[in-house]
Structure 1
Amino acid sequence: MGRLSCLICTKYNYDPTPPDKRLTGLTKIDILLDGVKVHTGFKDATGGWNTKSARWERQCSVQVKAGTRMVTLRRNGPFPHICAIKIEASEGLSGVASVSRPAPEKRQEILRGTAHDGRLRALRRKILMPDPEAVRRAIRDLEKACPDRYAAVDHLRHLDAFSKEQARMLALLDHGEEPDTVRFDALASGVRAALLANPLLDVDRLLVVRRRIINGRARQATGRELGWVPNNYLNHTDLPGTGYDNEIAVMTGLRSGKPTLKKLFKPDRDTLVRDVCLDFDGQRLLFSGLDRTNRWAIFQIAADGGSLQQLSPADDPDLDFFDACYLPNGKIVLCSNAYYVGVPCLDGKYKVSSLYRLDPATKHLRQLTFDQDHGNDPAVLHDGRVVYQRWEYSDIPHYFARRRMTMNPDGTGQLALYGSNSWFPTAFRFAQPVPGHPSLLAGILSGHHCRGGYGDVGRLALLDPALAGAYPFRYRPTSKEWGEVGQPIAVTPEILPAEKTGFVQLIPGYGKPVAGTVCDAAVTDVYLKQHPSLATHPHPLNEKYFLAAMKPDADSLWGIYLVDVFDNATLIYEEEGTALFEPQLFLPRPRPPVIPDRVNLASKTADVHIADIYSGPGLRGVPRGTVKAIRVFAYHFCYIGKGGFPLIGTESGWDVKRVLGTARVEADGSACFQIPANTPVSLQPLDADGNAVQLMRSWLVGMPGERVSCAGCHEDRRASLPPQRSLAETRHSEPLSPWLGPARPFAFTHEVYPVLERHCIGCHREKQTVGPRSMPCFADPKTAYDTLHPYVRRAGIEGDMALLAPMEYHTSTSRLFQMLEKGHQGVTFASMGGEARARLACWIDLNAPFAGNWAPPVWKGVDPVARRLELAKRFAGVDVNPEAEHATAAEAFRSRTLTGFMKPPPVASVASDGLQAAGFPMDHTAARRLQEACAGRLPSSLDLGNGVVMRLVAVPAGAFVMGRLDGAPDERPRAVVRINKPFAMGVAEVTNDQYARFDPEHDTRYIDMHFMDHVVPGHIANHPDQPAARVSCEEALAFCVWLSKKSGLRVTLPDEAQWEWAARAGTDTPFFYGGADADFGRFANLADSDLRNYRMKWEGASVLQNRFPHPPEMNFPLHDPRFKDNGFVVDYVGQTEANAWGLKDMVGNVSEWTRSSYAAYPYPGAAAQGETRRVVRGGSWADRPADAGASVRRAYQPWQKVFDVGFRVIVEVE
């Protein structure tokens, strides 16, 4: 409190009912209640200087006891111009005193009391800092590990004395006394000595970086001021580089209480020094610093501090080199921005860092990684491989898309070590292998947006990728909403043991499993709320003990600590006015084995060998024989100075995608083909019609001459190749088959628009129609794109991080393909031909992009296209210019010969068929009477166990006219169909809770959000009361078999006729409540006016976003703007009004499986066999009335799991 520049206090008497108070403030200040911090708030601007117009914002809710309480506002430094607080209670406030400024003598009394209380709190923290039980655990461990080198008996005796003194001191504090600490300090010093007597510190020499902080801010400084990269979306080039007083120093006398620091190296200017790496033999070390041109460079000095030399190239004034480590063969791996790629989420305004290998002897520099965004933190594992962090977000949430990767020192064998498809951790920085353990890593958990500049710091954690490669995200919501929009959110899924997550422990965190909390600003919003300490630069001594730079609490200095898994953090040294970082033992260490180079730099290609594409979870459940080929495309990442997803299209991803060709897949699932070397490529398995069965949403890179081997599709990295020789192994690798021409970037104008000109423009030349029956306009390519893409379902910019189910975004889930398959105004896939279908399928599978190039402007006097190409030739041997390929395709489009519109054959008008069925249609009263006549013979519920019950209603026998004359072509000819026997049907769709009784591992997961900056996986669809979806027809039938056995009844799915009869409930209109223009708000959860509010946007670090509307002319997502229902996306079941037979959600919410095969009408009967696909009925929350209804049919593979398809059961009684 002594450093406060202002203190605002108020006292109030409080009636304990209600026990909550809401504190609301105006413009970052700590709020304390009775001296205890309850919130840091006042973070936003007030909206004006006038106190009357300044905006109030909610701060926090606190529980208070009756009596006189004091609220304090505290801030280090001057208070903002406007700072006010008001106190509210949910049921009013009694006896509130005025909030006037106390008299001077009263203020002094308050301040003296507050200072006294502050001293007692600080003393309590000091006394509690050494936890006797944690110290005892460490002493016992060292006693067992080093019985001849550690005096455990003496240390335990001293610890017992300390524990007694600690208890005595705490008792005095509990009585409000301020005890003398002389004896305690002496005993605490002995405890510290016990921990520092660890034989691992016998070397007594550390390398550290000492950084002096000016203006007395060593305790408050953060971010760039301390030489940190402030946010994890940046790299070294965002640091000022100058203005620092720092040096590399040698620390000795570690156990003395006052270690000695001796300067080893200090730059002759005020440049930053960081990223110190000691060679394996301990004779030299690397560091990052600024060269004479103020570019980042890699320097080397000898162990005595002399022989300074710059190792990285010095002849490129636009390139930076930093963050290097030694390789076992004497070469080094370093980071550089020579790739000339811009950070996509920052519109290309900052350069991406990639990994390169430098031979100091020859100065030869070769690029190793070719990724979309930053690669950093390289280190060498015990087996000689390089481990590093790769940030990538190809159609996945970019905050959380950082992976730990490994590769051989020559760049071959690039594999995900940890984090593929994992929401957690947001970042795992400075990972280092642990001596004596084959796979354990020590690193720092950090965030993406890092309030306070905490990009390089966070919580120390231990990760063992040999246990698991990702942290499973299984969240069980209590609401369909994540929480309060506009507020920061941290989502903690099921906390699992290390065997399932790979995360062994947080430090501190002894004996506790690691929570995989998903949070953007993870340091401030998660870790500092759990524990006040921050750490960085871990240096493992073994699997239990570590050196680290650490700041135990907000008022501490950054010092060097010995930390352990038992929750001890023992200060070795701190220095007032200084921050100490990057501790490491200054002695030789074992040199890992040298992995020989496997590259052939004369080669321009790499070979890809897939043993069995059906192996692994990526194609789980897909029948063998489905995949016929593999589409191969390359990423063309954005340039420095120009980037961002809006330039690619609408919800189309971040990058230009360049189609290279296709490779054939053998009957046994094997494939062997060539890809261009040093190129990020993605693979898409294709079905017989050329549609992607799975999306990779990442890439692989092969080095020149490398053989890239995969066991299957997204197989576990630990999976071994099958022992038998595959069919593809019997032949040489094949060049890719060209896809409708040479390799080129995919551009809508060049690839899709000619299809529309040929087959569609005759009817779609006029201005678009937006509304319940929209019609796109194809007058020009841009208009065509803007009005056609709403008919395409795709992964978008930031789809769910989890591995997609096969066919999640298959073309069959897009309205465009559904229309063309059935026939649209005489146009069908059959009439369009195979090439037209292939172009449309490729467009959808590539995320429906518009642009195929970047056309970047000159950046700081440099042509980014020419410079990238020059550097790619020089450092990677790559001589490919996608911008030129696009220009060639653009010229071909401009000079094309127009073949003219191919008018489809006229569509015959649908005449009345005159069909009638006895007793059909019927009014509501007649329908209820018919139901009541059979209800007594049918069950009204099914007990699923554990209190879970499924309600049923009776559906009577009867006849009706099935189909719709003015519907889609597959809804006619109509037929009179007789339902011979009554049956019972679920009132609602099977819920997630009900389905979990059969399959507790099933997870319906989430509905994707649009735009970027997502802090949650999507809109919740897995609440227990929402319908189970992403359940295949085969799984739904298996549920029915299980429920039949459990209930002793015949439970099954309805056939098409049973479903439509039940949905109509006696009506002959498209919906039981009326026609396609009827207001469905009370009756069905369909694509209503609110669905337009599907766009998210940046609202702050960690903030749960509001929904915003897409422009009305975009017609996206497709929706009916006239009406509004009670749901947004999928809702809880049974929220709509029932039809005459008591059935809810027959139309809308989710579509529903039937057991019928998809066959042409007239309806051939339940026993008829059409093709293998099964019929889905009703329509979902994603369908407009124009695309839904009692007669609407869609067809999916029986093994296909569809995002908006669930099911309900029937019970048939003999």
Structure 2
Amino acid sequence: MPAYISFLRLFSCSCALLGAGMLHASGLQPWLRELAVIPPASSAKEKDAWMRQVWTRTAEYAASLSEPAAADDCGDAMVLLVPVFQAWPDGKAAGAALAEILSVPAESIGAVSSWDDLVKHQEAIQERVRFLRLKKLAAYYDSAAIRRAVERNRDKYGERYAGAEGFLARLDEWEKELGPLDRWVEQAGPGQAARLREMVDLRRKALIEALPEQNGLKAWVSVRRFNPSGKSSFNHDRPANWQGISSMPGPGRKYRSGIVKFNGVSSSSPVEQLLADDRWVGHLDIDFSGEKLMFTGNGFGKKENRPWDVFELDLKTGKKESLTAHMPADTDSYNSCYLPDGRIIFVNTSGMQGVPCVAGVDYVGNLHLYDREKKTTRRLTFDQDNNWFPTMLPDGRVMFLRWEYTESAHYFSRVLMHMNPDGSDQKEYYGSNSYWPNSLFNARPLPGRPGMFAGIVSGHHGVKRLGELVLFDVNRGRAATEGAVQKIPGHGKPVENVTKDQLVQGLKTPYFAEPYPLNEPFPPPPAARA
């Protein structure tokens, strides 16, 4: 590609929480003391209910903390200690489980029969949390990709890209000493933590902090969710690939969510929580002024009549309001985007339709247009099955994903569409008459690159709303892999046209969720332009 685009990339891991902040000064003891008030399970039958209490209390405690990094510590420690809790009340078995977690001899731990016994090992547990978090940050260490990026940035920016030769020299030293760095990271133990941290720091500096255009990005926001059920976010914090948000599984009603702010693109731990909620929150969209944030939330068990609604958060005042409270009380609203004139497009289930292959139990959502000044709402699409993720294109049209339910081919028939903001001139944008990709979720255009977009390629059954991050260019073609530029990671490799239901099951590369292209290609220095 002739120029780089910066991405804010979100990927899913098997643990409930992932962060990289400094550890809370008071350690894990306050959290463990918080859990100690829960009476122990008196029988095996009560163990599941007891574990749910432990998860719920952890989520509530983490959500109450003012320091997001401290919340990360508690969440990661909870995930780590599940085998210990499952072994109770057998103190010997619990001690053996803790020893295995800490990678130390069982006799050095002894029996762990109570919360007090566990508190004695809090520092070791915290160190283990720190190390495992560091290994996740260092995972997928692609030295060849880093080297290509450094060399390109050096040639592109010249002196404005500081430290290029040092980055390259350090990579050469590491590879000479350690061999292939991705394999070394996989095998690294706690004794190599300092080297892992150095590698993570070099990658962040070379790919993010040293880039001249990154100075313009002062802050960004994201969603953090704590799942009291104890189940991984991998398949429990999003609906299946044929469903709308109204089919969210039970944990959607139980999440402790927060919208958090990060300072600078290299920040890996939030500095402020902008909004806290005891339900699922997601699908963020910033308005064109940068002062308002729209998101999907729900009111299960609250005073609101409708379960799922689109809300707006004023980033200056912190005030929250529902934008879709006027919709019928027996419908759900979600997946929204701003138009430049202040109107919004969102998905709503007003059609009272259901997905055929599940006997209609999953409700179908279509696109609607809401004019805030006129207080009017109009349905834009009248499709048999779901629409998802409307987003603005640079040419003023709106891109969205439509599911064409057509006999057995419905496993592969989600088509990326585009239309005028008023719903007119709806037509295919990418993927018509194609068996690949099955799904193309969260597609967003690349700034300054007409016809290019990034999206998440996923399957039909299997992994939910996660998959491979792929760059597309409709100028190359609009069917199957014709317009697929490359996967990330996947430099220099052709994108294969694969027909498979569970398309991304068992990936060896990261699972991505919501790509967000950040900026236009940065202009080359004057000498390079000459």
TM score, norm. by length of structure 1: 0.30
| Bigger helix share | 2
2:178 to 159, 162, 166: 166
Q: Are residues 356 and 164 of structure 1, via their aligned partners in 2, closer, same or farther at CA, if it must alter by over 3 Å? A: same
Q: Is the 8 A contact 1:289 1:296 kept in 2?
A: yes
SS in 1 for 2:336: strand
- CA drift of 1:468 comes to 1.1
Matching residue of 1:135? 146
Q: Structure 1 residue 533 and structure 2 residue 510: aligned?
A: yes
Task: Give CA deviations for 1:952-1001 in whole Å, capped at 9, x if unaligned.
Answer: xxxxxxxxxxxxxxxxxxxxxxxxxxxxxxxxxxxxxxxxxxxxxxxxxx
- CA drift of 1:316 comes to 1.9
Q: Structure 1 residue 418 and structure 2 residue 430: aligned?
A: yes
d(CA) in 1 for partners of 2:182 and 2:476?
42
What is the identity, as a one-letter code, of the residue corresponding to 1:519? K
Task: Give CA deviations for 1:276-317 in whole Å, capped at 9, x if unaligned.
Answer: 100112111211112412421111121225232211143622
What is the identity, as a one-letter code, of the residue corresponding to 1:539? Y
Select the structure with the greater relative contact order (CA < 8 A; seq sep ≥ 6): 2
Q: Structure 1 residue 369 and structure 2 residue 381: aligned?
A: yes
Matching residue of 1:353? 365
- CA drift of 1:441 comes to 0.9
Q: Structure 1 residue 310 and structure 2 residue 322: aligned?
A: yes
Q: Are residues 130 and 355 of structure 1, via their aligned partners in 2, closer, same or farther at CA, if it must alter by over 3 Å? A: same
d(CA) in 2 for partners of 1:140 and 1:321?
47
Task: Give CA deviations for 1:786-842 in whole Å, capped at 9, x if unaligned.
Answer: xxxxxxxxxxxxxxxxxxxxxxxxxxxxxxxxxxxxxxxxxxxxxxxxxxxxxxxxx
- CA drift of 1:177 comes to 11
- Which stretches of structure 1, 4 residues or longer, exceed 6 Å deviation after superposition? 121-128, 168-174, 176-179
Matching residue of 1:431? 443
Matching residue of 2:227? 213
What is the identity, as a one-letter code, of the residue corresponding to 2:378? R
What is the identity, as a one-letter code, of the residue corresponding to 1:137? R
Q: Is the 8 A contact 1:325 1:378 kept in 2?
A: yes
Q: How does 1:163-242 map to 2 (within 5 A)?
A: 163-167=175-179, 180-181=191-192, 184-188=195-199, 189-197=201-209, 198-202=211-215, 203-214=217-228, 220-224=232-236, 227-229=237-239, 231-239=240-248, 240=250, 241-242=252-253
Q: Structure 1 residue 281 and structure 2 residue 289: aligned?
A: yes
d(CA) in 2 for partners of 1:310 and 1:172?
50
d(CA) in 2 for partners of 1:124 and 1:383?
42
Task: Give CA deviations for 1:817-868 in whole Å, capped at 9, x if unaligned.
Answer: xxxxxxxxxxxxxxxxxxxxxxxxxxxxxxxxxxxxxxxxxxxxxxxxxxxx
Q: Is the 8 A contact 1:385 1:406 kept in 2?
A: yes
Q: Is the 8 A contact 2:457 2:467 kept in 1?
A: yes
Q: Are residues 326 and 181 of structure 1, via their aligned partners in 2, closer, same or farther at CA, if it must alter by over 3 Å? A: same
Q: How does 1:632-671 map to 2 (within 5 A)?
A: none
Q: Is the 8 A contact 2:150 2:207 kept in 1?
A: yes
Q: Are residues 304 and 173 of structure 1, via their aligned partners in 2, closer, same or farther at CA, if it must alter by over 3 Å? A: closer
1:263 to 261, 266, 273: 273
What is the identity, as a one-letter code, of the residue corresponding to 1:141? R
Q: Is the 8 A contact 2:349 2:363 kept in 1?
A: yes
- CA drift of 1:435 comes to 1.0
Q: Are residues 172 and 350 of structure 1, via their aligned partners in 2, closer, same or farther at CA, if it must alter by over 3 Å? A: closer
d(CA) in 1 for partners of 2:261 and 2:412?
37
SS in 1 for 2:253: coil
d(CA) in 2 for partners of 1:272 and 1:396?
33
Q: Structure 1 residue 520 and structure 2 residue 520: aligned?
A: no
Matching residue of 2:49? none
Q: How does 1:323-362 map to 2 (within 5 A)?
A: 323-362=335-374
Q: Is the 8 A contact 1:265 1:305 kept in 2?
A: no
Q: Is the 8 A contact 1:335 1:354 kept in 2?
A: yes
Q: Is the 8 A contact 2:404 2:414 kept in 1?
A: yes
- CA drift of 1:348 comes to 2.3
SS in 2 for 1:277: strand
d(CA) in 1 for partners of 2:435 and 2:311?
36
d(CA) in 1 for partners of 2:496 and 2:488?
13
What is the identity, as a one-letter code, of the residue corresponding to 2:225? R
Q: Structure 1 residue 505 and structure 2 residue 516: aligned?
A: no
What is the identity, as a one-letter code, of the residue corresponding to 2:288? F
- CA drift of 1:329 comes to 2.0
1:248 to 259, 262, 285: 259
Q: How does 1:798-877 map to 2 (within 5 A)?
A: none
Q: Are residues 289 and 128 of structure 1, via their aligned partners in 2, closer, same or farther at CA, if it must alter by over 3 Å? A: closer
- CA drift of 1:368 comes to 0.6
- CA drift of 1:132 comes to 2.0
Q: Which consecutive residues of structure 2, in runs of 5 or more, have no partner in the other structure?
A: 1-13, 15-81, 85-95, 105-127, 523-530
- CA drift of 1:460 comes to 0.8
Q: Are residues 187 and 355 of structure 1, via their aligned partners in 2, closer, same or farther at CA, if it must alter by over 3 Å? A: same
d(CA) in 2 for partners of 1:290 and 1:169?
44
SS in 2 for 1:196: helix
- Percent identity, please: 33
Matching residue of 1:455? 464
d(CA) in 2 for partners of 1:455 and 1:312?
26
- CA drift of 1:192 comes to 3.1
d(CA) in 2 for partners of 1:154 and 1:166?
18
- CA drift of 1:199 comes to 3.4
Q: Are residues 444 and 543 of structure 1, via their aligned partners in 2, closer, same or farther at CA, if it must alter by over 3 Å? A: farther
Q: Is the 8 A contact 1:435 1:542 kept in 2?
A: yes
Q: Is the 8 A contact 1:169 1:179 kept in 2?
A: no
d(CA) in 1 for partners of 2:511 and 2:182?
26
SS in 2 for 1:523: coil
SS in 1 for 2:513: strand
Q: Are residues 511 and 532 of structure 1, via their aligned partners in 2, closer, same or farther at CA, if it must alter by over 3 Å? A: closer
d(CA) in 1 for partners of 2:449 and 2:274?
31
RMSD between aligned alpha carbons? Answer: 3.5
- CA drift of 1:376 comes to 0.9
Q: Is the 8 A contact 1:446 1:459 kept in 2?
A: yes
d(CA) in 1 for partners of 2:307 and 2:423?
25
- CA drift of 1:183 comes to 5.4
Q: Are residues 173 and 179 of structure 1, via their aligned partners in 2, closer, same or farther at CA, if it must alter by over 3 Å? A: farther
Aligned residue pairs, count: 391
Q: Is the 8 A contact 1:341 1:348 kept in 2?
A: yes
CA radius of gyration, larger in: 1
SS in 1 for 2:173: helix
Q: Is the 8 A contact 1:441 1:463 kept in 2?
A: yes
Q: Are residues 400 and 388 of structure 1, via their aligned partners in 2, closer, same or farther at CA, if it must alter by over 3 Å? A: same
- CA drift of 1:428 comes to 0.5
d(CA) in 2 for partners of 1:521 and 1:300?
35
- CA drift of 1:170 comes to 9.6
Task: Give CA deviations for 1:898-956 in whole Å, capped at 9, x if unaligned.
Answer: xxxxxxxxxxxxxxxxxxxxxxxxxxxxxxxxxxxxxxxxxxxxxxxxxxxxxxxxxxx
d(CA) in 2 for partners of 1:338 and 1:272?
22
2:478 to 461, 469, 474: 469
Q: Are residues 517 and 77 of structure 1, via their aligned partners in 2, closer, same or farther at CA, if it must alter by over 3 Å? A: farther
Q: Are residues 346 and 77 of structure 1, via their aligned partners in 2, closer, same or farther at CA, if it must alter by over 3 Å? A: farther
- CA drift of 1:272 comes to 1.4
Q: Are residues 133 and 352 of structure 1, via their aligned partners in 2, closer, same or farther at CA, if it must alter by over 3 Å? A: same
Q: Is the 8 A contact 2:143 2:181 kept in 1?
A: no
SS in 1 for 2:271: strand
d(CA) in 2 for partners of 1:533 and 1:251?
22
Q: Is the 8 A contact 1:355 1:368 kept in 2?
A: yes
Task: Give CA deviations for 1:1138-1159 in whole Å, capped at 9, x if unaligned.
Answer: xxxxxxxxxxxxxxxxxxxxxx
Q: Is the 8 A contact 2:397 2:418 kept in 1?
A: yes
Q: Is the 8 A contact 1:443 1:538 kept in 2?
A: yes
Q: Is the 8 A contact 2:439 2:459 kept in 1?
A: yes
